Structure 1
Amino acid sequence: MTINEMKNEQFPAFSIDEWKEAAEKNLKGKLLDSLSRCTYENIKLKPLYSAEDEVDWETSQFPGFPDYRRGIYSLGYNQSEWYVAQTIQYKNIDELKTSLSSSLDKGQTSISFEVQTDTAGRLKEIIGNIYEKNPFSVNAKLFQYVFIEALLDIAGDSAEKITGFTGMDPIAVLAEQGTLPIKISELYDQWAELIKKADQNMPHLKTILVDTTPYHNGGASAVQELAAGLSAAVFHIQELLDRKLSLEKILYKIVFKFSIGANFFMEIAKLRAARMIWNKITEAYGALPENRKMIIAAETSKFTKTAYDPYVNLLRSGNEAFAAVLGGIQYLHVSPYNEPENNFSSFSDRIARNTQLILKEEAHLNKTVDPAGGSWYVEHLTNELAEKSWELFLQIEDHGGIFEALKSGWLQQQISEIREKRQMDVYTRKQSIIGTNIYANLDDKPLQLPEEPENVSATDIKETVEPIPQIRLSEPFEKLRRRSEQLADQLGRKPAIGLICLGALKQHKARADFITGFIAPGGIEGKQSGEINSTEQAFSFIKETGFEHYCLCGSNEQYAETGMELVREIKKLFPSIKLFLACLPDVGGEKDWRSSGIDEFIHVKSNCYKVVSGILEEMEARMHEE
């Protein structure tokens, strides 16, 4: 074949049905649809997407134009890069000054830090005149009033140079903390005046925040995050319109804040869908296209981070930051790997900041324009999210809006249902958390978690709702690990159960390894016996180890031949020990095994948290008896 002939060669074209047929052959008779799964958003994810999945949405083909799913700038990050907005944590003002200066010298491009009680009083000392070159990225919360006043004092004639945002979302504060120190109507009265004053002196500073992170960190689905956030935005608009702010001014001042979770494509679609719905809402208000653009500040999720095996948090944050950038954002905070202990270091800060710089300078994502655009999967997911979020948004409005939905507890209940589903999936290991509920390292040293903050005193409360619990998904297993560490201090060794390994290595290894990995998330060690081929060998292993819990590990054939008789003999000689069996028997088999002496069964469908917690509870009870 000549070169010219090769150039004219083409690959054969296959229809979607032929692809499906080929896939189903490899599935050995199963339908391709068996690979589909349903998300927490009640969206069915298919194994294959094609042009057939295009829907009748009015999809904009160009970034920078309504419906803005493809971004708010026509040239994407080529036109305006996202700001590196690492939120600086600090113990004192001197530490903040040093960290902020160092960060800005090493790639940070936005002024971002936690506002504390004494921050405003020393703001001039902290920021000097760096605000003239770098925008703010500050969620000031209820400190916004004093923070804005301090900014006005120090800026003077250069106040017009202040850009970025120093925002507050009173609804998010209420949802997270469950309280406000002032009635909501009075708060909006004061807030409206503050926004007007800030605009008169600092016209380029945005002061209205729509913060969806309390919903995300409470376990909400992407649909719930979007619906709650957009409902809060509408509440802000209505309240501020009633207080004589113009629609144009309100929309210009709004910034949305999102947490970015672990579901990579869902998070990309979440940001794209958010812009779509916001365009629809603001269009209904009569806003011009330029005023319908959504400014997004994103942060990697606190909800997904772990205290054990914390270096895995580097990978989690990298994945989440990548999704945020592909989704199209204007500000980004990447959480340091040791964020759960709230005690950062220069090392962890640098790694987090460099994660963004790698995405910019090495992956060249700052030269892209909506790289996810046109993907049938991402576009379909974006449309699905937008539809379902719009439906829930309307439900919230039917309940009287976000404030009334929180006051009644309806929204908290909706989020609680999803949080419980997520937690159960972690308990049963349907959802993996590497280093926590799977592949746990028993020798791992955890981060030192801070103590829970004190509750607000009753005299400081004027508005109350049921708060949305702010959690990390790994916390229940981390509590198990701490319990096992306390037991280890008392025992002088790690808590352990004995694994009675039946027959040759190839006969018991798979189940013995499974059980070892199954109990490790609770800090429990699996002590494997040698090859057990007789009752006497099993007795000897039990006498040598002296544990309270043992698990039989072997093949189904061994279980059928000698398993039940061995269990009876063990229970006869050691009636106080608890025996597990590594398998999932059928209904009839379970009854027979239990009658022979097996107490519980451990298998891939077992609730890992429940089983391991039960073992620790029995060990703790035995220690108290002694």
Structure 2
Amino acid sequence: MTINEMKNEQFPAVSTDEWKEAAEKSLKGKSLDSLTRYTYENIKLKPLYSAEDEVDCEISQFPGFPDYRRGIYPLGYYENDWHVAQTIKYKKIDELKASLLSALEKGQTSISFEVNADTIGCLKEIIGTIYDKYPFSVNAKLFQFDFIETLLDLAGDPGETITGFTGMDPIAIFAEQGSLPIKLSELYDEWAEVIKKADQYMPHLKTILVDATPYHNGGANAVQELAAGLSVAVFHIQELLDRELPLEKILSKIVFKFSIGANFFMEIAKIRAARILWNKITEAYEAQPENRKMIIAAETSKVTKTAYDPYVNLLRSGNEAFAAVLGGIQYLHVSPYNEPENNFTSFSDRIARNTQLILKEEAHLNKTVDPAGGSWYIEHLTNELAKKSWELFLQIDDLGGIFEVMKTGWLQKQISEIREKRQMDVNTRKQSIIGTNIYANLNDKPLQLTEAPANISESDKKEMVESIPQIRLSEPFEKLRRRSEQLADKLGRKLAVGLICLGELKQHKARADFITGFIAPGGIEGIQSGEITEKEQAFSFIRETGFQHYCLCGSNEQYAEIGMDFVREIKKLFPSIKLFLAGLPNAGEEKDWLSSGIDEFIHVKSNCYKVVSALLEEMEAKMHEE
């Protein structure tokens, strides 16, 4: 074949039916439906998506035009790059200015830091030389009024060069903390006046925030995040319209803030679906197309971060940042790997900032226009999310709106159901958290966790609802690790379970490794016996080690060969030990194994958290007895 002939060669067209036939052959008798699964959003995921899935799916062809799923700018990041908006944390106020200036010199493109009473008192000193040189990306929360007043003093008349956003979301404060220091109606009265004044003197500064992060950090799924966020936006609009702010002015001042989780494609679709729904809502208000564009500030998820094996957080944040950029955002904060400590370092800050710079400067994503557009999978997810989120949004509206469903606890209950599902999946290791519930390193030193200070004191709480717990999914296992470490310190030795390894290495290795990995998330070591081919070898191993717990590890053939009589002999000689069996016996054999002396089976469907927690409780109880 010549080069020219090779250039004209084409791959044969393959139909979907032909692909299905080939795929089912590779599954060795299983149906293709066995690859189908459902997400936390109750969206059915198929093994293949194609042009056939475009049925009932309207896909706008050009970015920068309604329905804005493909972005709000015709040339995407090429024309309007996203802002590196790393939120600067600090121990002392005098560190903040130096850290902020250093970040801006090293790639940060937005003024972003945590605001509290101390920063408000020193705000002029902190931003006095930079306030009009970089856009703001600040969630000022209840300090927004003072923040705006300080900016007005700095800006003069008018502050045309002050850009970005410095906003708050009263409903998000309710969701996160369960209270406000004044009545909500009074807060909106004051807020409306501040928004008007800020617009008069700083017309390019956005001052209204719709913060959906408390719902995400409470364990909500993407549908709940979108529906809650959009309901909050409508609540803001109605409250501010009632206070005589013009609709177009309100819309021009709104910024949405989303957390980006670990489900890569779902998170891309979430951002795209958010723009579709915002376009739909603002169109219903008869807003002009320019005011139907959604400005999005994103941050990587707090839910996914871990205290143990913390450097894995670098990879998690990188994955989440990548999804955010592909989805199309305007501001991005990438959490440093030690975020659970609530105390960043110059090193962790630099690595987090450089994650964004790699996406920009090395991956050249700042030269792209909707890179995810046209993927049948992502387009399908986008439409499914938009559809389901719209249905939930309407349901919230029928129940009286976002504030009403929070007062009654309805929204909190909906989110708690998903949170419990997520946590159960982690506890049973259906959902892996590397370094925490799987591949745990027993020699790992965890981050030193600290609680973030509350913004509202008990005496200041004037209006209250049930707050949404802000979680990290790794926390239950981290508590187990701390318990085991404290117990090990008291005992003066590592906690361990003895593994009675039956037969040759190839016969017991798989299950011995499984048990070792299964108990490691609780800080418990698996001590292997070596090859056990005679009963006396097992008895000697138990005498020499003197552990409280042992587990038989071997193949099904080994279990059948050695049999239940062996278990009875072990329990007769060592009646005080607890004996596990690695693996789940065949149906009908479980009762026989239990009656012979096996206390529990440990297998892939076991609840890891429950089993390991019980082990620690028994070890603690024995220590107290001694």
SS, match of residue 482 in structure 2: helix
Aligned length: 626
- Give the equivalent residue in structure 2 for 1:498: 498
- Give the equivalent residue in structure 2 for 1:146: 146
Amino acid paired to 1:242: D
Deviation at 1:509, TM superposition (A): 0.5
Deviation at 1:129, TM superposition (A): 2.5
Amino acid paired to 2:559: Y
Structure 1 residue 603 and structure 2 residue 610: aligned? no
TM (norm. structure 1) is 0.99
- Give the equivalent residue in structure 2 for 1:224: 224
Contact 1:124 1:154 in 2 (8 A): yes
Deviation at 1:143, TM superposition (A): 0.8
Structure 1 residue 322 and structure 2 residue 322: aligned? yes
Contact 2:342 2:452 in 1 (8 A): no
Deviation at 1:421, TM superposition (A): 0.3
| Distance (whole Å) between structure 2 residues aligned to residue 493 and residue 444 of structure 1 | 16
| Distance (whole Å) between structure 2 residues aligned to residue 501 and residue 455 of structure 1 | 55
1:571-612 CA distance string (max 9 Å, x none): 001111100000112342110000000000000000000000
SS, match of residue 589 in structure 2: helix
Indicate the larger mover: 147-156 or 438-447.
147-156
Deviation at 1:457, TM superposition (A): 4.4
SS, match of residue 425 in structure 2: helix
SS, match of residue 497 in structure 1: strand
Structure 1 residue 557 and structure 2 residue 557: aligned? yes
- Give the equivalent residue in structure 2 for 1:92: 92
Unaligned runs of 5+ in 1: none
SS, match of residue 89 in structure 2: coil
Contact 1:321 1:356 in 2 (8 A): yes
- Give the equivalent residue in structure 1 for 2:477: 477
Deviation at 1:3, TM superposition (A): 2.5
1:70-107 CA distance string (max 9 Å, x none): 00000000110000000000111110011001000000
Deviation at 1:29, TM superposition (A): 1.6
Deviation at 1:132, TM superposition (A): 1.7
Contact 1:23 1:32 in 2 (8 A): yes
Deviation at 1:149, TM superposition (A): 0.9
Contact 2:180 2:456 in 1 (8 A): no
| Distance (whole Å) between structure 1 residues aligned to residue 567 and residue 61 of structure 2 | 68
| Equivalence map 1:503-522=2 (5 Å) | 503-522=503-522
Deviation at 1:204, TM superposition (A): 0.6
Contact 1:216 1:225 in 2 (8 A): yes
Deviation at 1:154, TM superposition (A): 2.0
SS, match of residue 160 in structure 1: coil
- Give the equivalent residue in structure 1 for 2:304: 304
Deviation at 1:398, TM superposition (A): 1.1
- Give the equivalent residue in structure 2 for 1:468: 468
Structure 1 residue 290 and structure 2 residue 297: aligned? no
| Equivalence map 1:83-162=2 (5 Å) | 83-157=83-157, 159-162=159-162
Amino acid paired to 1:325: V
1:401-430 CA distance string (max 9 Å, x none): 000000000000000000000000001100
Percent identity between the two aligned chains: 85
Contact 2:158 2:201 in 1 (8 A): no
SS, match of residue 166 in structure 2: strand
CA distance 1:391–1:174, change in 2 (3 Å): same
- Give the equivalent residue in structure 2 for 1:586: 586
Structure 1 residue 376 and structure 2 residue 376: aligned? yes
Amino acid paired to 1:47: P
| Distance (whole Å) between structure 1 residues aligned to residue 298 and residue 501 of structure 2 | 50
- Give the equivalent residue in structure 1 for 2:281: 281
| Distance (whole Å) between structure 2 residues aligned to residue 5 and residue 71 of structure 1 | 41
Unaligned runs of 5+ in 2: none
Indicate the larger mover: 608-617 or 587-596.
587-596
Deviation at 1:57, TM superposition (A): 3.6
Structure 1 residue 177 and structure 2 residue 177: aligned? yes
RMSD of Structure 2 on Structure 1 (CA): 1.0
Amino acid paired to 1:377: Y
| Distance (whole Å) between structure 2 residues aligned to residue 535 and residue 285 of structure 1 | 79
| Distance (whole Å) between structure 2 residues aligned to residue 366 and residue 349 of structure 1 | 21
Deviation at 1:58, TM superposition (A): 3.2
Deviation at 1:453, TM superposition (A): 4.3
Deviation at 1:454, TM superposition (A): 6.0
| Distance (whole Å) between structure 2 residues aligned to residue 463 and residue 527 of structure 1 | 55
Deviation at 1:561, TM superposition (A): 1.6
TM (norm. structure 2) is 0.99
Deviation at 1:532, TM superposition (A): 1.1
Contact 1:511 1:582 in 2 (8 A): yes
| Distance (whole Å) between structure 2 residues aligned to residue 623 and residue 454 of structure 1 | 38
Contact 1:436 1:474 in 2 (8 A): yes
Amino acid paired to 2:24: E
| Distance (whole Å) between structure 1 residues aligned to residue 452 and residue 83 of structure 2 | 32
Deviation at 1:33, TM superposition (A): 1.7
| Equivalence map 1:191-230=2 (5 Å) | 191-230=191-230
| Equivalence map 1:27-42=2 (5 Å) | 27-42=27-42
SS, match of residue 519 in structure 1: helix
User: After the TM superposition, which parts of structure 1 deviate over 3 Å for at least 4 consecutive aligned residues?
Assistant: 451-458
| Distance (whole Å) between structure 2 residues aligned to residue 198 and residue 428 of structure 1 | 51
SS, match of residue 332 in structure 1: strand
Contact 1:121 1:150 in 2 (8 A): no
Deviation at 1:456, TM superposition (A): 4.9
Contact 2:206 2:255 in 1 (8 A): yes
SS, match of residue 420 in structure 1: helix
- Give the equivalent residue in structure 1 for 2:243: 243
| Distance (whole Å) between structure 2 residues aligned to residue 107 and residue 452 of structure 1 | 27
- Give the equivalent residue in structure 1 for 2:459: 459
| Equivalence map 1:326-475=2 (5 Å) | 326-451=326-451, 453=453, 456-475=456-475
SS, match of residue 149 in structure 1: helix
- Give the equivalent residue in structure 2 for 1:623: 623
| Distance (whole Å) between structure 1 residues aligned to residue 4 and residue 111 of structure 2 | 59
Amino acid paired to 1:268: I
Deviation at 1:158, TM superposition (A): 5.8
Deviation at 1:459, TM superposition (A): 2.7
